[in-house]
Amino acid sequence: MFDNLSTSINWIYKGVGLIAILYIIYLGGIGFLFRLTLQPFKITFHDAKTKELDNTLLSFQLLRLYHGINVDNLHDKKMVSQAVKLGTLSSKDFRFLCFAPPIGKSKHGRAEMVIFIIAMILMFSFPVSLVHLNKNYRYDYATFTEANNKVLISNIDIYDPTTKKYLSKYQCKKNQAQQKQILKSACAYLISSDPDMREELNHAIVQNNTGLRASLYLMILTIFIWAMTLFIYPQYRHTNNTFIDFKNNSE
Question: Which of 178, 118, 197, 5 lies closest to 167, judged by CA?
Answer: 178
* 172-191: pLDDT as tens digits: 888 776 678 889 889 999 99
| Predicted local confidence at residue 24, as pLDDT | 62
Question: Which residues neighbour 157 within 8 Å (Cβ) at sequence distance 6 or greater?
Answer: 166, 167, 168, 169, 190
CB 125 within 8 A of CB 137: no
Does pLDDT of 13 surpass 70? Answer: no
Query: Which of 26 and 185 is assigned the larger pLDDT?
Result: 185
In a domain, 171, yes or no: no
In a domain, 156, yes or no: no
Determine the average pLDDT of the residues in 209-238.
90
Binned at pLDDT 50, 70 and 90, residue 140 comes out as very high
CB 161 within 8 A of CB 133: no
Tell me the pTM. Answer: 0.75
Query: Which of 207 and 175 is assigned the larger pLDDT?
Result: 207
Does pLDDT of 35 surpass 70? Answer: no
Determine the average pLDDT of the residues in 144-163.
90
| Predicted local confidence at residue 149, as pLDDT | 86
Determine the average pLDDT of the residues in 29-52.
68
| Predicted local confidence at residue 23, as pLDDT | 64
- How far, in Å, are 97, 140, 171, 231 from residue 186 at the CA level? 54, 15, 12, 49
Helix axes 48-67, 74-85, angle to 10 degrees: 40
In a domain, 231, yes or no: yes
Of 13-27, 71-85, 192-206, minimum mean pLDDT range:
13-27
| Predicted local confidence at residue 156, as pLDDT | 92
| Predicted local confidence at residue 135, as pLDDT | 83
Does pLDDT of 41 surpass 70? Answer: no
Determine the average pLDDT of the residues in 47-59.
77
CB 4 within 8 A of CB 143: yes
CB 166 within 8 A of CB 21: no
| Predicted local confidence at residue 136, as pLDDT | 82
Number of folded domains that form the chain: 1
Question: Which of 77, 64, 73, 59 lies closest to 24, judged by CA?
Answer: 64
In a domain, 172, yes or no: no
In a domain, 213, yes or no: no
Q: What is the mean pLDDT of the chain?
A: 84
In a domain, 193, yes or no: no
State whether the Cα torsion 217-221-226-230 is positive or negative: positive
* 81-131: pLDDT as tens digits: 999 999 999 989 998 888 888 899 899 999 999 999 999 999 999 889 888
| Residues spanned by the domain of 120 | 2-134+221-250
| Predicted local confidence at residue 134, as pLDDT | 84
Question: Which of 236, 240, 213, 53 lies closest to 138, judged by CA?
Answer: 213
- Percent pLDDT > 90 in the chain is 33
In a domain, 29, yes or no: yes
| Predicted local confidence at residue 145, as pLDDT | 87
3-state secondary structure the chain: CEECCHHHHHHHHHHHHHHHHHHHHHHCHHHHHHHHHHHHHCCCCCCHHHHHHHHHHHHHHHHHHHHCCCCCCHHHHHHHHHHHHCCCCCHHHHCCCCCCCCCCCCCCCHHHHHHHHHHHHHHHHHHHHHHHHHCCCCCCCEEEEECCEEEEECCCEEEECCCCEEEEHHHHHHCHHHCCHHHHHHHHHHHCCCHHHHHHHHHHHHHHHHHHHHHHHHHHHHHHHHHHHHHHHHHHHHHHHHHHHHHHHHC
In a domain, 74, yes or no: yes
Determine the average pLDDT of the residues in 36-60.
72
Binned at pLDDT 50, 70 and 90, residue 242 comes out as very high
